[in-house]
Amino acid sequence: MSAAPPPLSVRQLTVAYGERPAVWDVSWDAPPGLTAIVGPNGAGKSTLLKATLGLVPALSGEVRFFGRPLAEVRDRVGYLPQRASVDWDFPATALDVVAMARYPRMRWWGPIPRRHREAARDALAQVGLADLAGRQIGMLSGGQQQRVFLARALAQDADLVLMDEPFAAVDAATEEAIVQVLRDLAASGRHVVAVHHDLGTVPAYFGSVLLLNTRVFAAGPVARAFSAAAIAQTYGARLPVLEQALLSGAEGGGG
């Protein structure tokens, strides 16, 4: 039996802002399951995600989702942007925002069809926000807003969800809710590639890892690729912070 194509496959991808390369010659296959992209600030983690989705132009390289170009499998790929990328004072309710995930599947005008509304409600329930469906998004806490974005990604009902810093600046309840959602996704055979900034929780939350600092430093199962040596190389000289993180990772890890 031939192996199924990886959820995400990147070949020789290079992205630059002006003359400074943000992502340099990255070739990487995301394995099935839950994968973290880890690296220091400015390492090109978000840029890599955006480039795979065509949101920032790549200088060169090739991207495949499930072995196909994105345009052919767009409905199988979900996306959770950074929370800070939008204006949360926008006049919309939580349900409005989650329903946006279904826009490609409905007419561009008129009321939102009931089944899509129900799907959006289900997604909100999945992140523990069923009661806040009608709440203005500007009135939600930061963690709740993050969960609204997560619900929107879920409502896409995709096989692979790309998440940009899902755990950034969230409260404990939200972090727990997100972890539960990640596990549910993995249990139902879905895949997640998430930009992640907290080295300490990588072993607990994710099965695989990509260590990125403009170029690939290591990739593979956490148990093998997430080694102290590889992390040190990826992060360069920032060892004191790093060692701390590794220590807490070793304590909380083993997953």
Q: Which residues pair with 212 in a beta bridge?
A: 216
- Which of 63, 100, 130, 232 forms a contact with other proteins (CB under 8 A)? 100
> Judged by CB under 8 A, which of 169, 228, 247, 250 binds other proteins?
169
Residues 59-78 that bind other proteins (CB under 8 A): 71, 74, 77
By the rule CB under 8 A, 89 interacts with other proteins:
yes
Does residue 19 bind other proteins (CB under 8 A)?
A: no
- Which is closer to other proteins, CB of 145 or CB of 214? 145
The residue among 177 and 216 lying less far from other proteins, judged by its C-beta, is 177
Using CB under 8 A as the binding rule, whether residue 145 contacts other proteins is answered as yes
Answer for which of 88, 179, 197, 227 binds other proteins (CB under 8 A) is 88
d(CA 44, CA 52): 12
CB of 133 to other proteins, least distance (A): 15
Contacting other proteins within 111-130 (CB under 8 A): none
**Site residues (CB under 8 A) for other proteins?**
18, 50, 53-55, 71, 74, 77, 79, 81, 85-92, 96-97, 100-101, 103-104, 106-110, 136-143, 145, 152, 156, 169-171
